[in-house]
């Protein structure tokens, strides 16, 4: 049994990370025994997720949240979406885990142990928004290929790690460096060991930002296995696929990284706008960098009924990729009029911002509350679907909830 060998070979620390809880009496557990929680095929127990999370795909695992599950200011593990391109690695040997920095543009290749990384470099903690490039894909018409995410492939957790920049300075980078690309321990769906499920990256300018970190803690604890234990890249504000999980190697490239899902149509949109359904040649597709401005009403849950005369208190979060959110507005008349929400400053750059408002309704009836965020460049969310693209990325259309006044 694969799971058995995984458990036998991995440390108890890994088990704890996977389960998300401490195993009481773990010293009494027979060697090679698979805890009942890991024998379970129930993804909610397996990944410690809220039972209201929605499973889009069970091989590979892809699970999303619903808006009301994302109400916390800092997202807890139980509400964090799971997005996998391949199979979650089964043999995590944290004691012997290493990170190698290589590529055309390093002065010399260098390998660090996990404990060396933790002891040698300064630790930083940031709240960083990660959103799947395909979040909202399900709304595109004609439909786009891939997991049909609705709104729940986004979150903002607190990450602790070391700056990628500090590590790269220690290694020594040549002037011709263009891009970094990660390589990880996950397994291709075909189990072909020569194939990587995903190996993406970002330009050096993103690699060198303060907030681009190699994280080993999420929300103050070991990163859960499904989210990249024991080490991952976090590049907030960019498609979450840039934040490689189960990190083993980073290549500093003198070209745009050409790993799996960097080329072709993956995580790319047409360089020029196209009509819905139009064919786009690979060379006319451009890599997605910063994610667009977006917001989510996380309270109340859609479907609230309240009595006439009562005010409705709404709240939620807004984010804008590399930028800050400048304002959030709401409308209860399908965009005919907009009112301002109270908007908080981000905890740090690239963290989502919290908004709230108290809404009065003029009479009984059916309403939709729409939220619209505007970024620091004055660009707002569209109420309709943004430009169609073959892979269904970057749907940042306004979120709305249904409300009835009775």
Partner 1 sequence: MKKQNHDKLKRDFQELYRKTILACAVIGIGAIILVYLIVDPGLSALKTDVPQTELVSVPEDDDYDKIENGIHVRTGFIDAPGMMVTVQNCTNCHSAKLVMQNRMNEERWKSTIKWMQETQNLWDLGENEAVIINYLVTNYPPKKVGRRAVLTDIEWYQLEE
- Binding-site ranges for partner 1 (CB under 8 A): 55-60, 139, 141-143, 145-148, 188-190, 192, 195, 260, 300-306, 310, 312-313, 368, 383-385, 397, 400, 402, 404
The answer to whether the Cα torsion of 204, 208, 212, 217 is positive or negative is positive
Q: How far is the CB of 406 from partner 1 (least distance, A)?
A: 9
Of residues 54 and 74, the one with the C-beta less far from partner 1: 54
Q: How far is the CB of 63 from partner 1 (least distance, A)?
A: 11
Of residues 353 and 396, the one with the C-beta less far from partner 1: 396
Q: How far is the CB of 192 from partner 1 (least distance, A)?
A: 6
Q: How far is the CB of 57 from partner 1 (least distance, A)?
A: 5
- Show Cβ contacts of residue 215 under 8 Å, excluding neighbours closer than 6 positions: 159, 160, 161, 223, 228, 231, 232, 233, 234
Q: How far is the CB of 59 from partner 1 (least distance, A)?
A: 4
Of residues 157 and 357, the one with the C-beta less far from partner 1: 357
The answer to whether the Cα torsion of 40, 82, 196, 142 is positive or negative is positive
Of residues 90 and 368, the one with the C-beta less far from partner 1: 368
Q: How far is the CB of 265 from partner 1 (least distance, A)?
A: 9
Q: How far is the CB of 122 from partner 1 (least distance, A)?
A: 40
Taking the C-alpha atoms of residue 186 and residue 196, their distance in angstroms, rounded to an integer, is: 8
- Show Cβ contacts of residue 121 under 8 Å, excluding neighbours closer than 6 positions: 162, 163, 166, 167, 170
Taking the C-alpha atoms of residue 49 and residue 38, their distance in angstroms, rounded to an integer, is: 14
- Show Cβ contacts of residue 395 under 8 Å, excluding neighbours closer than 6 positions: 135, 136, 137, 139, 140, 385, 386
Of residues 167 and 287, the one with the C-beta less far from partner 1: 287
Q: How far is the CB of 360 from partner 1 (least distance, A)?
A: 14
Of residues 139 and 344, the one with the C-beta less far from partner 1: 139
- Show Cβ contacts of residue 3 under 8 Å, excluding neighbours closer than 6 positions: 34, 38, 39, 90
Q: How far is the CB of 95 from partner 1 (least distance, A)?
A: 32
Asked if 103 and 251 count as a contact pair (C-beta separation under 8 A), the reply is yes
What tokens does 131 get?
């959103």
Of residues 177 and 371, the one with the C-beta less far from partner 1: 371
The conformational region for residue 311 under phi > 0 = left, psi -120 to 50 = alpha, else beta, is: beta
* Spatial CA neighbour of 77 closest among 160, 20, 3: 20
Look at strands 312-319 and 353-359 and give their pairing: antiparallel
- Show Cβ contacts of residue 221 under 8 Å, excluding neighbours closer than 6 positions: 17, 20
Of residues 57 and 290, the one with the C-beta less far from partner 1: 57
Taking the C-alpha atoms of residue 114 and residue 167, their distance in angstroms, rounded to an integer, is: 12
Of residues 57 and 98, the one with the C-beta less far from partner 1: 57
């Amino acid at each position: 049994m694969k799971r058995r060998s995984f458990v036998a070979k991995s440390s108890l620390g890994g088990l704890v990370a996977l389960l998300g809880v401490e195993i009481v009496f773990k010293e009494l557990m027979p060697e090679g025994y698979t805890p009942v929680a890991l024998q379970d095929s129930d993804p909610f127990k397996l990944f410690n997720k809220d039972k209201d999370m929605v499973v889009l795909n069970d091989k590979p695992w892809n699970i999303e949240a619903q808006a009301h599950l994302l109400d916390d200011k800092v997202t807890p593990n139980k509400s964090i979406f799971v997005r996998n391109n391949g199979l979650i690695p089964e043999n995590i040997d944290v004691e012997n885990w290493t990170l190698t920095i290589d590529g055309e543009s390093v002065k010399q290749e260098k390998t660090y142990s996990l404990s060396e990384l933790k002891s040698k470099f300064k630790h930083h903690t940031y709240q960083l928004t990660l959103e799947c490039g395909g979040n909202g894909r399900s709304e595109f018409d004609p439909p786009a290929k891939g997991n049909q995410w609705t709104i729940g492939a986004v979150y903002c957790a607190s990450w602790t790690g070391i700056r990628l920049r500090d590590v790269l300075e220690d290694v020594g980078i040549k002037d011709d460096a263009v891009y970094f690309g990660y390589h990880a321990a996950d397994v291709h769906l075909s189990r072909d060991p020569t194939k990587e499920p995903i190996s993406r990256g970002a330009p050096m300018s993103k690699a060198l930002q303060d907030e681009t970190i190699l994280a080993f803690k999420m929300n103050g604890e070991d990163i859960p296995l499904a989210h990249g234990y024991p080490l991952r890249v976090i590049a907030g504000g960019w498609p979450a696929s840039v934040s490689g999980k189960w990190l083993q190697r980073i290549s500093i490239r003198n070209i745009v990284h050409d790993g799996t899902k960097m080329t072709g149509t993956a995580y790319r949109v047409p360089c020029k706008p196209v009509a819905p359904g139009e064919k786009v040649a690979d060379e006319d597709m451009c890599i997605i960098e910063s994610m667009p401005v977006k917001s989510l009403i996380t309270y109340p849950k859609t479907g609230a009924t309240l009595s006439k005369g009562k005010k409705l208190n709404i709240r939620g979060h807004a984010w804008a990729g590399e930028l800050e959110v400048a304002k959030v507005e709401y409308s209860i008349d399908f965009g005919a009029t907009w009112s301002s929400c109270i908007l908080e400053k981000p905890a740090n750059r690239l963290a989502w911002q919290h908004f709230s408002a108290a809404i009065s309704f003029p009479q009984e009836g059916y309403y939709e509350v729409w939220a619209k965020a505007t970024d620091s460049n004055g660009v707002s969310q569209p109420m309709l679907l943004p430009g169609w693209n073959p892979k269904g990325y970057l749907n940042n259309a306004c979120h709305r909830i249904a409300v009835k006044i009775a």
